[in-house]
Amino acid sequence: MKAAVLRETNQPLSIEDVATGDPGPREVLVRTAAAGVCHSDLHFQNGAYPYPLPAVLGHESAGVVEAVGEDVHYVEPGDHVITCLSAFCGHCEYCLTGRMVLCNEPELSRGADEPPRLSAGGQPIWQFLNLSSFAENMLVHEHALAKIRRDMPLDVAALIGCGVTTGVGAVIHTAAVEPGATVAVIGCGGVGLSCVNGAAIAGAGRVIAIDTVASKLELARKFGATDTVNAADGDPVAQVRELTGGGVHYSFEAIGLKATTEQAFKMIRAGGTATVIGMIPVGTMVEIHGPEFLREKKLQGSSMGSNRFRVDMPRFVDFYLADKLHLDDMISNRIRLEDVNDALAALETGEVARNVIVFD
Which residue in the list 39, 43, 141, 326 is annotated as catalytic? 43
Which residue in the list 14, 39, 40, 92 is annotated as catalytic? 40
Q: Taking the CB of residue 282, how many other CB atoms lie within 10 A of it?
A: 10
As a whole number of angstroms, the distance between CA 27 and CA 68 comes to 6
Tell me, yes or no, if 40 is annotated catalytic: yes
As a whole number of angstroms, the distance between CA 292 and CA 266 comes to 9
Picking from 36, 54, 35, 34, the residue whose alpha carbon sits closest to that of residue 44 is: 54
Element (H, E) at 183: strand 182-186
Tell me, yes or no, if 188 is annotated catalytic: no
Contact 217, 303 (CB under 8 A): no
Which residue in the list 39, 103, 141, 162 is annotated as catalytic? 162
Q: Taking the CB of residue 34, how many other CB atoms lie within 10 A of it?
A: 23
From first CA to last CA, the distance across the chain in angstroms is 12
- Residue 104 C-alpha from the chain's centroid: 17
Tell me, yes or no, if 84 is annotated catalytic: no
CA distances from 290 to 142, 265, 286, 287 (A): 44, 11, 12, 9
Q: Based on the number of CB atoms within 10 Å of its own CB, is 272 exposed (0-12), middle (13-18) or buried (19 or more)?
A: buried
As a whole number of angstroms, the distance between CA 51 and CA 179 comes to 40
The C-alpha torsion from 217 through 220 and 226 to 231, rounded to 10°, is -30
Active site residues: 38, 40, 43, 59, 162
